[in-house]
Amino acid sequence: MGRHSHPERTDQRSPRETWTATSAYRRRWWVAAIAVGLLAVTAGATALRPGAADAACGDTAQVVLAVAPDITAPVEMAVQDWLATGPRAAGRCVAIELRPTEPADVAAALAKRSGLTLTGIAKPSAGLDLPDIWIPDSSMWLTRLGQTGVGSLPEQPPSLARSPVVVATPQTEGGGQAGLGWNGLAGHLTETPGSKLGIVDPLRDGAGLLGVLALRASVSSGNGGGGPDLTAATLAMGEARFATDEELLAGLAHSDGSTGTIEAPNLALLPESSVLAYNATRPPIPLVMLGGQPTTAALDYPFVLLPYGSSVLDAVATGLLGALSGPAFTEVLPSLGLRPPGDAAGTGGAPPLWEPGAALIQTVQDWISLNMPARMLLVIDVSGSMGISVPTADGATREAVTVESARRGIAMCQDDYAVGLWTFSTRLDGNRDYQELVPIRPLVENRAQLTTTLPTIKPKPGGMTGLYDTILAGYAKLQSEWDPTRVNTLIVMTDGKNEDPRGPSLNGMVQQLERLRSKVKPIQIVILGIGLEVSKAELRKITEPTGGGAFVATDPSRTEEVFLQIMELRTTTR
């Protein structure tokens, strides 16, 4: 995303071409360049042409260069210097159209050219033409495209610069977190009240995706595979998402000297260059980068010659790469908070935190599944048997354990989740075995209603368990109001035994579910059994065809773990 900004210019640029980090040297260069008429601006792109000595050029090779906005300034400087030497490509003059372009847009356009869609990015920006040469912020875009099925991309293109991905916090917050690094970050986020990590959308931002990969890798290496801890870490990173670095920096708690809000993140996952650029503006409270962080997760700004060029384009690319590899380019990088490509200071020789490819794609898929808002219907058993005490829960009743499970689960959901609440027994609402207590609405609208309604739920004396009829009714309800922008899930909390002689048998209910099930409107069924008499095998027969699951919780203290297991199922909806 756009991380810096050019100094004020006489030409008109799109917001993506404005920069915040400047230096006296860059100001002088831009003023001189504009004064001698070297820059011509058209449609948000900079047309870089040969100098005055080559004004008589007739046949000119026109090359389009798309560059990540955060490295556009030094690239433009180096390209202009190179053009001033009068380079030739197969005997032709060279003109460069330099376009500051978000890497996500170019990646989406490349996928579209191959008849594919890049996961998490519906389509490129309107009117975007593919460049001849591309300098994104991270090689991860190439890995992601390759795993999507886009072929003929270079596997290891040369890197032009480097910016480690770091965790930063306002100086007022940093005192007690100085030693916090990747290995302790996940636990800090999930166990420390009020701790929240801000992140730029990792589906569209190289640093955001690298940070998610690094954090997930640290969790997996720490516990041998991840599981609920990995899910908890991924969910925690999705609580404070921003569109750009600028929005994230503006949204940090205490970053402007204010007290912040409960919702504001107090940590930020950013490229090192963004932190340095922000501090260069002399904000009221600067950011500090937390210590103990391996820096193998870094933006690397690859130089990518796209695979549909010509010998002329090859010659231009060779000349450009030479200009972007020389000291005139690398020596200006530190003034922008960037490192030369070989600068791995701080890694201590550490190996990469992950293997690219499959791990990257799995991370993208998990992020989408876990952070896509859910639409859930929560159905709680209130039959007479729910009044039985649970020995492993200090004698609390099954109902009390269930309500506590529901309360904790809802507390973990973000405000954009939509949740509704039913109860069920037998003949609870006329001849119906179920009753709606709270309609399905976004939690921002009904969280308070759910919070006050849950404690009022009590067992129905003498009531039996109309489990199968209720599951069918809940499934049909979700299907009739199915929302394509959400993960649609039916969660049933019960002691697990159907006792309604008027309803269908287990096999009959499963057959009816099969007839209702639609591939274009997938709905998960998740059943959380309470107590020691639950038949998990029976419950799984109901849930597995939908990609759901059956879980047993005998103790409220395990509820959060069970809920995280439920969240993990979101990648397997059928």
The single-letter DSSP state of residue 69 is: G
SS3 (DSSP) at 368: helix
Inform me whether the pLDDT recorded for 515 exceeds 80.
yes
Q: Does residue 377 sit in helix, strand or coil?
A: strand
CB 346 within 8 A of CB 164: yes
Q: Is 89 in the same domain as 23?
A: yes
| Judgement on whether residues 415 and 556 belong to the same structural domain of the protein | yes
Q: Are 271 and 300 in contact (CB under 8 A)?
A: no
pLDDT given at position 186: 80
pLDDT at 17: 29
Residue 133's pLDDT is 97
Looking at the structure, do residues 494 and 393 belong to the same domain, yes or no?
yes
What element of type H or E holds 370?
A: helix 358-371
| DSSP calls for 22-46 | --HHHHHHHHHHHHTT-EEEETTEE
- Single residue among 371, 404, 426 that ends a domain in this structure: 371
Contact 546, 573 (CB under 8 A): yes
CA separation for the pair 480, 207 (Å, rounded): 40
pLDDT band with cut points at 50, 70 and 90 for residue 24: very low
> Do 416 and 564 belong together in one domain?
yes
Is residue 332 within 8 A of residue 91, CB to CB? The reply is no
Euclidean distance between CA atoms 62 and 64, whole angstroms: 7
Considering only 166-175, 262-271, 327-336, 442-451, which range has the smallest mean pLDDT?
166-175
Across the range 324-352, mean pLDDT stands at 77
User: Is pLDDT at 453 greater than 90 in this prediction?
Assistant: yes
For the chain, how long is the longest CA-to-CA vector? 97
Query: Which amino acid is residue 443, in one-letter code?
Result: L
Write the CATH number for 415: 3.40.50.410
For 3-12, 219-228, 230-239, 347-356, which range has the lowest pLDDT when averaged over its residues? 3-12
Going by pLDDT thresholds of 50, 70 and 90, the confidence category of residue 344 is low
Same domain? For 404 and 378 the reply is: yes
Verify that 213 and 117 share a domain, yes or no: no
- Cα angle at 168 between 1 and 361, to 5 degrees? 50
Domain that holds residue 393: 373-572
Q: What is the pLDDT of residue 73?
A: 92
Q: 365 and 388: one domain?
A: no
Last residue of a domain, one of 371, 400, 416: 371
Q: How many domains are there within the chain? A: 3
Cα 479 to Cα 237: distance, rounded to the nearest angstrom: 30
Residue 342 lies in a domain: no
Asked if residue 344 is part of any domain, the answer here is: no
> Contact 95/63 with Cβ under 8 angstroms?
yes
- Between 310 and 162, residue with greater pLDDT: 162
Q: How many C-beta atoms lie closer than 10 Å to residue 486's C-beta? A: 16
Q: Residue range 226-247: average pLDDT?
A: 78
Residue 347 has pLDDT above 70, yes or no: no
C-alpha to C-alpha distance for 471 and 490, rounded to whole angstroms: 8
Model pLDDT, residue 25 = 28
pLDDT of residue 394: 84
Say whether pLDDT at 247 is over 60: yes
350, pLDDT greater than 80 = no
In CATH, what number is assigned to the domain containing residue 288? 3.40.190.10
Most confident of 73-77, 126-130, 370-374: 73-77
Q: Does the pLDDT at position 171 exceed 80?
A: yes
Packing angle of the helix pair 311-325, 72-83 (nearest 10 deg): 110
E-only strand ranges, 174-309: 197-200, 240-242, 267-271, 287-289, 298-299, 304-305
Q: Are 202 and 208 in contact (CB under 8 A)?
A: yes
139 and 239 in one domain?
A: no
Indicate the residue among 127, 162, 197 that finishes a domain: 162
For residue 231, tell me if it sits in a domain.
yes
Our measurement of the distance from residue 226's CA atom to the centroid of its chain's CA atoms, rounded to an integer in Å, reads: 18
If phi over 0 gives left and psi between -120 and 50 gives alpha, with beta otherwise, what is residue 236? Answer: alpha
Q: Are residues 277 and 233 in the same domain?
A: yes
Q: Find residue 402's DSSP bridge partners.
A: none
pLDDT at 331: 92
Neighbour-count burial for 160-178, b at 16+ CB within 10 Å, e otherwise: bbbbbbbbbbbbbbbeebe
Domain annotation covers residue 125: yes
Structural domain contains residue 305 = no
Asked whether residue 61 falls in the same domain as residue 175, the answer is no
Distance in angstroms (rounded) separating the CA atoms of residues 390 and 534: 12
Asked, for residue 306, whether it belongs to a domain, the answer is no
Per-residue pLDDT tens over the stretch 295-310: 568 999 999 999 877 8
Selected residue with higher pLDDT from 136 and 538: 136
Let me know if residue 317 belongs to a domain: no
Claim to verify: residue 130 and residue 236 sit in the same structural domain: no
- The CB density around residue 309, as the number of other CB atoms within 10 Å, is 15
- On whether both 146 and 195 belong to a single domain, the answer is no
Instruction: Note whether residue 427 is domain-resident.
Output: yes
- End-to-end Cα, the chain, rounded Å: 34
Q: Which tens digit of pLDDT belongs to each residue from 460-476?
A: 999 999 999 999 999 99
Share of the chain above pLDDT 90, in %: 42
Among 54-63, 163-172, 323-332, the least confident range: 54-63
In this predicted model, what pLDDT tens digit does every residue of 126-142 receive, in sequence order? Answer: 778 899 999 999 999 99
* Overall average pLDDT of the 103-132 stretch: 86
Average pLDDT of the residues in 498-510 = 91
C-alpha torsion 393→394→398→400, nearest 10:
-100
Name which of 255-264, 315-324, 354-363, 488-497 the model is least confident about.
255-264
pLDDT at residue 365 in the model: 73
Write out the E strands in 24-148: 39-42, 45-48, 60-67, 93-100, 133-135
User: What pLDDT is attached to residue 416?
Assistant: 86
Mean model confidence pLDDT for the chain: 80
What share of the chain has pLDDT > 70, as a percent?
79
Give the mean pLDDT of 321-327: 95
Residues 25-65 pLDDT 10s: 232 222 222 222 223 323 357 777 665 445 567 688 999 99
